Amino acid sequence: MSEFDGVVLKYGGSSVATPEKISQVADRIIKKKEKYKNIITVVSAMGKSTNDLISLSREISNNPNKREMDMLLSTGEQVTISLLAMAITAKGHKAISLTGWQVRMKTFGHHMKSKITSLDKDVINKYLQEDYIVIIAGFQGINENDDITTLGRGGSDTSAVAIAATLGYPCEIYTDVKGIYTIDPRVYSKARKLDELSYEETLEMASLGAKVIEPRSVELAWKYKVPLYIALNTNDVKGTYISEEGKKMEKNSITNISIMDNILLVNIELKNNNVELINNIFVKLGSENVNIDIISQNKFSDDKYLISFTTTFDNKFIVTEILNNLGLNFNFIEDVSKVSIIGDSMRTQAGVASRVFELLSQGSIEFHQVSTSEISISYVVDDYNVERMVDILVKEFKL
């Protein structure tokens, strides 16, 4: 048996895409009872059903009300939890499905991008004490007005970690890849799987484009020291363990290359360094929940300043509206991606940045922006340069 008496399992949409796959997940959950007394499972909507619901809404309205979108999108997970509970019950075990609002998953913030504040563990514990396998809808909660809310992309990961943190259990996230790799294997087929990582490295990877886990869930796990495990949904190969220290990577300064596509680079021309106006731009963007990434400011002359920042492409409409309302001159650079190199050891190993700049120069790869942290360097480059840049970096850092 484990040192913990319970565990939170999370299965993504591809793992529960069909009734047959749901039945297979039910078998794996039941097998976990050999190791853990208490099992809580968080699931996403089946397959691409969330995308189908979004498409359905677009047939009704080009700009659907976000409260009603949350009401619509939350139904996807409810279908999955009920079917999974039925499958487990049919196999001779007690199971019950619960929505986000039934476990009082309290949230705040904007509809479709809400954040978790708390949940009621007593509801969950009540059923665990009665030996139920508890199946909870991920991705959804309820706000102060008792409106159903959703948590945005990757929200089921965040739901699972929040539940694990509240109950003091580890969290195992099962997906359609074998773990976390040095680079997305769909981009580079020879990528190596990492057996162990620190919370810090994983958060950096997730924030910079690694799609295997959602950044907020890693941040939450780090804050509450929730042991994380990312693995293939069949659980027949070893996955990646994420903990406080992870596995020290002294032999290689770079652990991972992450790629974030669908980037929008915004350039704003100003006639002077108007601090109040610049502040107003970012306040208004923030009030509309527009996430800003790399920001830079350049002075070309006494009457020409350029403010640049990156955001995700889906924010193009609201950014356009805000900047037009402020009467600003601006332009967009599209078809760009952010390529980031990441590694804990970068903080103690000098020369990584200079080597990367040298490699890009030798390869005639231009970049629009660059930003750094203690353990990462990120470049915004044209999409057509991504594959070549990745190939150069993989060979140089033996990833």
Task: Give the model's pLDDT for residue 52.
Answer: 94
Of 313, 308, 315, residue with least CA distance to 278: 308
pLDDT of the residue at 21? 96
- pTM for this model (two decimals): 0.80
pLDDT at residue number 372: 85
8-state DSSP, 132? P
Q: What is the pLDDT of residue 298?
A: 85
With contact defined as beta carbons under 8 Å apart, do 278 and 307 qualify?
A: yes
**pLDDT, position 2:** 66
**pLDDT, position 58:** 92
- Token pair belonging to 16: 């529960």
CB 180 within 8 A of CB 214: no
Nearest to 13, CA basis, from 66, 53, 70, 69:
53
CB atoms within 10 A of CB 123: 15
pLDDT by residue for the chain (399 residues), tens only, comes to 568 999 999 999 999 999 999 999 999 999 999 999 999 999 999 999 999 999 999 999 988 999 999 999 999 999 999 999 999 999 999 999 999 999 999 999 989 989 999 999 999 999 999 999 999 999 999 999 999 999 988 899 999 999 999 999 999 999 888 898 888 887 778 888 889 888 988 888 888 777 778 888 999 999 999 999 999 988 788 999 998 865 544 446 788 888 988 899 999 999 888 889 999 999 999 988 888 888 888 888 777 889 999 999 989 999 999 999 999 999 999 999 999 988 877 777 778 888 888 999 999 999 998 888 888 889 999 999 999 999 999 888 888
Cβ burial of 227 (10 Å; 0-12, 13-18, 19+) is: middle
Taking a C-beta distance cutoff of 8 angstroms, is the pair 167, 40 a contact?
A: yes
> Structure tokens of 192?
């190596």
Question: Do 340 and 377 form a contact (C-beta atoms < 8 A)?
Answer: yes
Give the integer Cα–Cα distance in Å for 218 and 238.
Answer: 20
Cβ contacts of 189-193, under 8 Å, gap ≥ 24: 190/394, 191/399, 192/399, 193/240
Residues 6+ apart with CB under 8 A from 109: 115, 149, 289
Backbone angles phi, psi at 209, to 5 degrees: 125, -15
Domains (range + CATH), the chain: 6-246 (3.40.1160.10), 257-397 (3.30.2130.10)
Q: How far apart are CA 154 and CA 12, in angstroms?
A: 9
Strands (E), the chain: 6-11, 38-43, 95-98, 106-108, 115-118, 133-137, 140-142, 148-150, 171-175, 180-181, 193-194, 196-198, 228-232, 240-243, 256-270, 295-301, 304-312, 329-342, 369-373, 376-382
State the pLDDT at residue 249: 42
* CA separation for the pair 174, 15 (Å, rounded): 8
Say if residues 393 and 359 touch (Cβ distance below 8 Å). Answer: yes
Contacts of 130 (CB under 8 A, 6+ apart): 94
Ramachandran quadrant class, 246 (left: phi over 0; alpha: psi -120 to 50; beta: rest): left
Residue partners of 352: CB distance under 8 A and separation at least 6: 253, 254, 341, 343, 346, 377
Q: Provide the pLDDT for residue 250.
A: 40
